[in-house]
Amino acid sequence: MTEGAPKKVNNVVVRWDGEHRFDGSRLGSQQSIRIDADATTGPGPVDTLLCALAACTGTDVVDILEKRRTPVQGLTIEVKGDRAAAVPARLERIHIIYKLRGVGIERVHAERAIELAVTKYCSVRDSLDAAMPVEWTLELA
């Protein structure tokens, strides 16, 4: 960040909707996401964290490949989070599978885009424990 530049701030609000259900949104926004610790009406909190990691790295991958003039035509990201057998059941290892489709996308460039997203650009990944392994694979169609 440039010296003297204002810090970015995210303000969210989460409202309880009974049982283990919560609706979260950016403060002042009408758009919300459902988080349900019972995973009946939405993903649980840890699932939501894994979704955020996928969306954050996915955004970077799409942007990097767009700049290479090889736009992504399809992207599905699957994330597996291995959790501790203790309380709290924190994440111990994450594996991300990028299923990517696009005309002219070369494997070497897609792999480089993913590597940059996971290790350099994604603020969600950088907010997690740096010692936690985050591995990934690419399926290119």
Q: pLDDT (tens digit, 9 = 90+) per residue, 46-95? A: 999 999 999 999 999 999 999 999 999 999 999 999 999 999 999 999 99
pLDDT band (50, 70, 90) for residue 134: very high
Predicted pLDDT at 5: 81
Whether pLDDT at 1 is above 60: no
Q: When comparing pLDDT for 3 and 96, which is higher? A: 96
Dihedral sign of CA atoms 128, 94, 120, 5 in order: negative
Whether pLDDT at 2 is above 80: no
Instruction: Quote the mean pLDDT of the chain.
Output: 96
Tell me the per-residue pLDDT of 87-115, one tens digit each, with 9 for 90 and over: 999 999 999 999 999 999 999 999 999 99
**Cβ contact 113:61 at 8 Å:** yes
Whether pLDDT at 137 is above 70: yes
Note the CATH number of domain 45-140: 3.30.300.20
Q: Is the pTM for the entire model greater than 0.85? A: yes
Average pLDDT, integer, range 117-122: 97
User: Could you tell me the two tokens for 125?
Assistant: 């990944």
* 78 Cβ contact partners less than 8 Å away, ≥ 6 residues apart: 54, 96, 97, 99
**Cβ contact 138:101 at 8 Å:** no
% pLDDT > 70, the chain: 99
Question: Quick one: which H or E segment has residue 48?
Answer: helix 45-67
